[in-house]
Structure 1
Amino acid sequence: MIDKSAARQAAFARRKAAHALGQGNAGHLSAVLAGYRGVPLSGYMAMRTEIDPIAAMEEASAHGPVGVPVIMGKGQPLQFRLWEPGCAMIKGEFGAMIPEAGDWMVPEIIIVPLVAFDRYGGRLGYGGGFYDRTLKKLRAARPTLAIGFAYSAQEDQGLPMEPTDQPLDLIVTEHEVITPQS
């Protein structure tokens, strides 16, 4: 297995510095999602220094179902619970906020949090493999668009990738929308 710890540590430092500037916004993410009105999507509830997609999620919820990921257990793919602005939230696994109650849904678009990304669609996450397992499962059933959402400072030229890593279809930062290179 490839050791990703050094890349992850450096990326966390870059993300923390970018977050401290307070310039992360979801404007470009909202613009991308506007082209998919009504398509079921999942966002995430930002933790620590993650860039926050909530404004784009709120806008998208006016047009179709929006969910958030729920960790079901170690080694398991994520499940998605319907979310709407103002719904009651509780702490889930690893401290992520999740809807207290509600129906389950299956997204066709997933806004993916990350630690680092490259321009080839590579993504470095927290190391649990939750999004990789989930994307593999969803993509086996139907096309599923994975949109990485990050600060531009999280870009990395040399990510250590493994065959089990699921690629991102788009990367959205506070400055641009990146279509991965082949």
Structure 2
Amino acid sequence: MERAKLKQALRRQMLAERAALPAGERANRSREACRHLLSFAKLAACRTVMAFHPIREELDIVPFLDSARQRGQEVWLPLTLVAERRLIPYRYTGPDMLRPGAYGIMEPDPEKAEEADLAALDAVLVPGVAFDRQGGRMGYGGGFYDRFLASLDQKPMLIGCGYHFQVVPSVPVEPHDVRLDYLVTEAGVLETRAADPR
């Protein structure tokens, strides 16, 4: 029960801090984070990258999506099936194939998009509410990413994306939680203690 209370308090605190960021500051920090994502050599070497479309005050990585596609990478975005509590990634070909989906997130329209081949997945950019240097991540509580990542036959490179203040000393994690290899914020790229030495 203690862990649940800790999670709840940390989630509340982080979301409040994120909501308090002025729009201009959010844009500046997002721009810097995208710059770090684009110059991260290990990510640039990946052929396929699953990313996310930001919601509310999340770090805006849309400029990265477009730049990655321009340099020849295949970018995927997830469709959220709320009833089944799972994510299905589709190939992202531009904003025209998106529609408002679960929780107001812009998601692929299955009628305009091609489902991605999970066996080809090289890297995943993972959103979150809080992260730590041990590779721990706390999401919004739905468990969508944990379930998705646990279902993969091979673990891709996992990169948490957020603002630098979202990196805290320790995130309360469960034994089944999948740990991240890297964190990217406006301050740069941080290798976690869980990073796969590849």
TM-score (norm 1): 0.90
Over 3 Å counting, the alpha-carbon distance change for 1:8 and 1:36 in structure 2 is same
The one of 167, 179, 187 equivalent to 1:155 is 167
The one of 139, 142, 153 equivalent to 1:125 is 139
Q: State the 1:79 CA deviation.
A: 0.8
Q: State the 1:104 CA deviation.
A: 0.6
AA matched with 1:149: C
3-state SS in 2 of match to 1:87: helix
Corresponding residue for residue 55 of structure 2:
47
AA matched with 2:143: G
Corresponding residue for residue 10 of structure 1:
13
AA matched with 2:80: I
3-state SS in 1 of match to 2:16: helix
Corresponding residue for residue 129 of structure 2:
115
Q: State the 1:76 CA deviation.
A: 3.3
Tell me the alpha carbon deviations over residues 31-84 of structure 1, each in whole angstroms, 9 at most, x when there is no partner. 126743451111111110000111111111121211111112345331101112
Would the aligned equivalents of 1:19 and 1:51 in 2 still touch at CA under 8 Å?
Answer: no
2:84 and 2:126 mapped to 1: Cα distance? 18
AA matched with 2:132: D
Corresponding residue for residue 178 of structure 1:
190
Would the aligned equivalents of 1:37 and 1:60 in 2 still touch at CA under 8 Å?
Answer: no
Higher helix share: 2
Q: State the 1:143 CA deviation.
A: 3.0
- C-alpha RMSD of the superposition: 1.9
Over 3 Å counting, the alpha-carbon distance change for 1:167 and 1:75 in structure 2 is farther
Corresponding residue for residue 57 of structure 1:
65
Q: Which range moved further: 166-175 or 65-74?
A: 65-74
What is the 5 A alignment of 1:63-142? Answer: 63-74=72-83, 76-100=85-109, 101-105=112-116, 106=118, 107-138=121-152, 141-142=153-154
Tell me the alpha carbon deviations over residues 87-111 of structure 1, each in whole angstroms, 9 at most, x when there is no partner. 2321111111112221011332111
* Matched positions, count: 180
Q: Which runs of 5+ in 1 are unaligned?
A: none
2:66 and 2:80 mapped to 1: Cα distance? 22
1:150 and 1:127 mapped to 2: Cα distance? 17
2:17 and 2:169 mapped to 1: Cα distance? 13
Over 3 Å counting, the alpha-carbon distance change for 1:46 and 1:82 in structure 2 is same
Q: Which range moved further: 17-26 or 112-121?
A: 17-26
Q: Which runs of 5+ in 2 are unaligned?
A: none
1:57 and 1:81 mapped to 2: Cα distance? 13
Tell me the alpha carbon deviations over residues 109-134 of structure 1, each in whole angstroms, 9 at most, x when there is no partner. 11111101111111110000011111
